[in-house]
Structure 1
């Protein structure tokens, strides 16, 4: 579901106005061909488990939906807040890239140690010097690493020890690779919805027509 954010209206013309005072068209679909094609459906060829392939393809589809919302943006637009939330489009891409990086590290190392950056609150914001193209490249690299890690593990029931975090129980236990993938898919889908709202509030564009 796409939530429509009502923009301000010019009193004389009645036209919807963007945050910079420029007219926008509500509900304008984000056009094809304006997004760097960085994350295609990434599901390595596997013959031992069709469920692995299905989950990786479902994950890739959620990434694609998220990436629709950053098509054609400048760095300044990607870093701009458009709602009362602190979230920005660039910040969401950065957070999701870092999320995949830390979960891949947990799956590959299997030692239950807390990965670097997992608790870094700066992952939600574009820092000075961050650019959208660089964040998209990082996200693409994280996606490839996730697919390679899952493909290299024996099966989806493989147990991965969890690290201790401020929100975990005293004994964090472990998750299966299946549960980790489902968690990452849910997280990506949730933030894709956030991103659609942020983009629509930015310039009236939305991803509805691109499914």
Structure 2
């Protein structure tokens, strides 16, 4: 039992440490206010290598372009159905759109998600489901620890289809998410850091 607790603590410690993306974003935010410093900083980076590392900044996106990832580029023909990442602190507030499901799970502190101009707060323990083809803007605080879980649309359909039967709000939301091309809503659950859910996620 003690070993199990220690491992969870180690995972949280690992998540609190800055990763490569966060170090880049932190330096980028410091230089952003001075164009000369920013250009000197960016000249050492290649647009394609940054994108490959899932680092997105407006200078390397086409004007008016949203951050976009497709299923086939996300998984690159891998057998995996789910991709899990930590949400990067210091990341720019850019709108994103994907053709797969995204689930946000906030582990510490809070963050915001903006959809259709409406800003929604996600606090510790909150889980947000963002359907495919939903333009959303994640706003991550400096002390936010949150997981970004991406699920293939086909996997979601296969695994959750039996659970989606019935005329209630949740099944209606997911059925619309699977079969309607453009979505303007997200679904938020307040789990209050349910122990079982937290253990599974970690």
TM-score by length of 2: 0.30
Which has more radius of gyration?
A: 1
**TM-score of the superposed pair, with normalisation by structure 1:** 0.29
Q: Which has the higher helix share?
A: 1
Greater fraction strand: 2
